Amino acid sequence: MQVPAQFEYERATSIAHAVQLLGKYNGAGRLIAGGHSLIPMMKLRLARPEVLIDINEVAELGGISRVDGELRVGALVRHTELLDDDEVAQLFPILRDAEKVIADPIVRNRGTVGGSVCQADPSEDLSAAFSALRAYAVVQGAETQRIVPLRDFFVGPYETVVGPGELLVELRVPVRTGGSSAFLKVSRRAGDWAVGAVGAAVWLDGDVITEVGIGLSALGARNFVAVEAEDFLRGRSVSADVLGEAGRIAAEHCDPPVDQRGPADYKRHLAATLVTRALQLACRRAGREV
């Protein structure tokens, strides 16, 4: 059994308390939510936090709600909760699609939405899905609360804008009618991280794409999104050729990492294929067969 290095443990009881504890340990404390990223890293001793600040009992961080035209997903919402929520599935099918293929039920029972995006793993599926939806992150510090577009949230691999004294409170997704969304993933096996995954959200006026979001995971897309393909699509009429071209544009702007999941040429091809297919599925769900 792999065993972590020594650490201290604190249990936060509220958002304010968590922020206070983060301040108290001044950079040496690390939040722990589901622990499904952090604990494996600690066991491999790739992470050695001096203090773990457990937020699992902070009720304020939980819950999914609809407020003022936004879907609010608490940082501590477990993967399973998001997966099982019918309203979420109806508003944003992309989220249920993604949750179905994230890890396995054991991980999904504990792993959280907040932990997933804060981990900022370049292969994280939710980062791509919520970025496609242009979600906002609510970040709480000792003094202030910031609302950051998720597309500006990721600084780089395993790095976000959340400062050492801050925590993520929730994600907010603007609810708009007239569209739909989808998420597709290719992995080597059920429960495995993506070889490549793509989420797409489209809003249509008749045939015309009025707004679109494309998120990519594990494919080396900057900030998890395909901005160039989105720009290309906006204002165009849906057709097989147009969606195919969007795939090509997205692939061109990816810089896929080369690893045992595949070489760059394959992953680039996969980016194009999945972008096109996810757009097709989203359009079909929005009532426009391609």
Partner 1 sequence: MSDTLEGTAHGNGSAYGSQPRKEDARFVRGLGTFVDDLALPGMLHGAVLRSPLAHAKVVSVDASAALAHPKVKAVITGETLAQRGMAWMPTPSHDTQAVLATDKVRFQGQEVAFVVAEDRYAARDALELIDVEYEPLPAVVDARQALSPDAPVVRDDRPGQENNHIFDWESGDAQRVAEVFAEADVVVEQDMLYPRVHPAPLETCGIVADMDPVSERLTVWSTAQAPHTHRSLYAQLTGIPEHRIRVIAKDIGGGFGNKVGVYPGYVCAIVASMITGCPVKWIEDRSENLMSTAFARDYHMRGEIAARADGTILGLRVRVLADHGAFNATAQPSRFPAGFFGVFTGSYDLQAAHCAVTGVYTNKAPGGVAYSCSFRITEAVYLVERMVDLLAGELDMDPAELRMRNLLRPEQFPYDTATGWRYDSGDYPRALAKALELAKYDDLRAEQAARRERGELMGIGLSFFTEAVGAGPRKYMDMFGFGMADGAELRIHPSGTAVVRLSCMSQGQGHETTFAQLVAQELGIGVDAVDVVQGDTDHTPFGVGTYGSRSIAVSGAAVVTVARQVRERARLIAAAMLEVSPDDLEWGDGRWFVRGDEELGYTLAEIARVAHSSFEPPEGVDAHLNAVTVYNPPNLTFPFGAYLCVVDVDPDTGQVKVRRFVAVDDCGVRINPMIVDGQIHRGLADGIGMALMEQIAFDADGNHLGGSFMDYLLPTALECPSWELGQTVTPSPHHPVGAKGIGEAATVGSPAAVVNAVMDALRPYGVRHADMPLTPAAVWRAIQGRPLRSDVAIT
Give the binding site for ligand FAD (CB under 6 A).
30-38, 40, 75, 102-103, 107, 111-112, 114-116, 118-119, 124-126, 162, 167-168, 191, 193
Residue 284: which H helix or E strand, with range? Answer: helix 264-285
CA distances from 113 to 95, 169, 284 (A): 11, 10, 27
Residue closer to partner 1, measured from CB, 178 or 263: 263
CB of 64 to partner 1, least distance (A): 27
Residue closer to partner 1, measured from CB, 70 or 192: 192
Given partner 1, ligand FAD, none, residue 198, with its beta carbon under 5 to 8 Å by kind, binds none
Q: How many CB atoms lie within 10 A of CB 188?
A: 12
CB of 176 to ligand FAD, least distance (A): 25
Given partner 1, ligand FAD, none, residue 3, with its beta carbon under 5 to 8 Å by kind, binds partner 1
Residue closer to ligand FAD, measured from CB, 58 or 209: 58
Pairing of strands 29-32, 196-205: unpaired
CB of 138 to partner 1, least distance (A): 31
Given ligand FAD, partner 1, none, residue 201, with its beta carbon under 5 to 8 Å by kind, binds none
SS3 letters across 210-274: EEEEEEEECCCCHHHECHHHHHHHCCCECCHHHHHHHHHHHHHCCCCCCECCECHHHHHHHHHHH
Residue closer to partner 1, measured from CB, 1 or 67: 1
Residues that bind partner 1 (CB under 8 A): 1-3, 5-6, 44, 104, 186, 188-193, 195, 258-263, 265-267, 269-270, 273-274
CB of 151 to ligand FAD, least distance (A): 18
CB of 47 to partner 1, least distance (A): 15
CB of 93 to ligand FAD, least distance (A): 17
CA 145 to chain centre: 21
Torsion of CA 260, 261, 264, 268, to 10 degrees: 180
Residue closer to ligand FAD, measured from CB, 102 or 270: 102
Given ligand FAD, partner 1, none, residue 260, with its beta carbon under 5 to 8 Å by kind, binds partner 1
Contacts of 73 (CB under 8 A, 6+ apart): 64, 82, 88, 113, 170, 171, 172, 173
CB of 84 to partner 1, least distance (A): 19
CB of 98 to ligand FAD, least distance (A): 8
- Cα separation, 215 vs 198, in Å, equals 6
**Token pair belonging to 94:** 């992309």
> What is the three-class DSSP state of 71?
strand
Report which of 287, 134, 279 is spatially closest to residue 205, judged by C-alpha positions: 287
Residue closer to partner 1, measured from CB, 147 or 258: 258
**Token pair belonging to 202:** 């489209």
Given ligand FAD, partner 1, none, residue 258, with its beta carbon under 5 to 8 Å by kind, binds partner 1
Residue closer to partner 1, measured from CB, 87 or 104: 104
Residue closer to partner 1, measured from CB, 140 or 276: 276
Number of H helices and number of E strands within the chain?
A: 11, 13
